Amino acid sequence: MKTNTFISTVDYARQLDREATTFRDEFYIKEEIYYMDGNSLGLLSKRAERTLLNSLQDWKELGIDGWMSGKQPWFEFSERLGALTAPLIGAQPEETIVTGSITANLHQVLATFYEPDGKRTKIVADELDFPSDIYAIKAQLKLHGLEPEEHLVLVKSRDGRTINEDDVIAAMTDEVAIVWLPSVLYRSGQLLDMKRLTAEAHRRGILIGFDLAHSIGALPHSLHDWGVDFAVWCNYKYLNSGPGGVGGMFVHSNHHGIAPGLAGWFSSKKDKQFDMEHELSHAETAGAFQVGTPHVLSIAPLLGSLEMFAEAGIERLREKSLHMTEYMMYLIEEELCEFGFEIGNPRENDRRGGHVCLEHHEAARICKALKDNNVIPDFRAPNVIRLAPMALYNTYEEIWQTITILKHIMKTEQYKNYENTRNVVA
C-alpha cells in the first residue's frame, strides 16, 4: 500500500487493525501504554512464560535428570532452538546454535576465523556500528599483537546516517582478512545489501559476517544461499526472549569441521562429551562454537516465542512491519512537519529494517516527555528517537496515538520541562 492511500484519522487506524492479523492476545500488554521499544527489548509473551515455567518445573521435579528427561530436556536445548531459529535466517538447522551473547559470539568468530597472514591483517567494519562490536574487534586485534589504529578499517558514512555499500566494497583490498558489518544499522535502521556484500567479499577472497541484532525476527534472510560465512545476534529484541536472553550464532556449513578458537565443554560432540577426555572432539556443526553450559532458564522463553514465529511466518511479519512503519512515517509527515523532525531511515522497503529513525535536536528531552505520556520510545545519541511498531503485537491505533501524543508534546512545548540529556540507560 502506498503512503498516499493512508488517512490520518483514528477511525482509519482502527479499520487497519480490523483487517490485520495479530498475536497481540499472546502478550502481556498494559492498556494505554504505547510500547514502541520492541527493537530494544521485546515484551513478554504467554508462551515464553509457559516454556520458562516448564524448565523450572523440570528442575523442580527432576533435578539433575532434567538434562535428559522432562518436557524440555536441557542437554540439546541449544541445538533444538537453533534448528527452530534457522528458518528465520535462511540457514540449515546444523548451521545455527543458540548460545552466548552477541559480543561473546563475535569473540568466538574472530578467535576462530581471524588468522592474519602476510599482508592480509585488516578487519573492515563501519563507523556507525554498535560500539560493542568495535570493542570486540579491537580486543582481538590486540590479542594478535596488532594496533587497531592500523588494522581496523572503519568505513565512513557519507551522511552520518547510512553506509554506502560501494564504500564498503572499495575498502575490500588485498590487505583485508574479514569484513564485519551490521545487517541493519542500529540508529538509522538502514538495511544493508548482505547478498551483494557477501558476493563481493568472496570475489576478493575475504570472509564476511554480520551482526543481525536489528534484523532477526524483523525480516527474512538467506544466509546459507548467500554464502555468508558467519553471523551473530541477540534474541531479546524482535524475538522476545527476555532481558539478557541468550544470543545466537550462524556458521556456514562450508566451515564445519574447523576447531573453535575458544573451546569449551559444550564444543564437544554430544556422544563424546561425557568421556571426559582432555583432547576435544568438537562437534561438526555450529554446536562446536558453544563454550560453556547452556543457560537453561535464560534460553527457555525463546522456545515459546519461536513457536509464534513459526505460526506467523517471517515473510508475513515483514510485510506487516513494512506497512506499519510506512503508516507511521506518513503520520509523522502529516502531523509533525512544523516541529523540525526529520525521518533518518531509508524510505525504500529493501533498504530499511523494522524501526523508524526520527531525528530532532531535542530528542533526549522529547523521549522523556513521551515516557511521561505513556509512550515508550528509545533514545540513541545524539539526536535519534527510535520508534518500532512490532508486527506481532502493536496496533495501528497505537501508532496513531503515539504520533498524536508526540504532536501534543511539541505544540504545548512540554518537552522543555526536561533536560536534553540521556538517562543512564537511554
Q: What is the CB neighbour count within 10 angstroms for residue 389?
A: 26
Q: Known binder of ligand: residue 293?
A: yes
Q: Known binder of ligand: residue 372?
A: no
Q: Known binder of ligand: residue 144?
A: no
Contact 13, 328 (CB under 8 A): no
Among 23, 34, 49, smallest CA distance to 311 is for: 23
Q: Known binder of ligand: residue 321?
A: no
Q: Show the DSSP H helices in 67-181 as ranges.
A: 77-89, 102-113, 131-143, 148-151, 165-170
Contact 125, 180 (CB under 8 A): yes
Return the ∠ at Cα 277 (arms to 275 and 281), rounded to 5°. Answer: 85
Q: What is the arrangement of strands in the sheet containing 378-380, beginning at the earlier edge strand?
A: 342-343, 356-359, 384-387, 378-380
The separation between CA 392 and the C-alpha centre of its own chain, rounded to angstroms, equals 16
Q: Known binder of ligand: residue 278?
A: no
Q: 197 by DSSP, 3-state: which?
A: helix
Q: Known binder of ligand: residue 211?
A: yes
Q: Known binder of ligand: residue 102?
A: yes
Q: Known binder of ligand: residue 132?
A: yes
State how beta strands 176-182 and 152-155 pair.
unpaired
Q: Which helix (H) or strand (E) holds 164?
A: none
Q: What is the CB neighbour count within 10 angstroms for residue 1?
A: 11
Contact 341, 359 (CB under 8 A): yes
Q: Known binder of ligand: residue 103?
A: yes
Q: Known binder of ligand: residue 236?
A: yes
Instruction: Give the single-character DSSP code of 127.
Output: T
Q: Known binder of ligand: residue 265?
A: yes
Instruction: Give the single-character DSSP code of 39.
Output: T
Determine the Cα–Cα distance for residues 352 and 346; give it in Å rounded to an integer: 6
As a whole number of angstroms, the longest Cα–Cα distance in the chain is: 70
- List, as residue ranges, the binding site: 102-103, 130-133, 211, 214, 236, 265, 293
- List, as residue ranges, the binding site for pyridoxal 5'-phosphate: 102-103, 130-133, 211, 214, 236, 265, 293
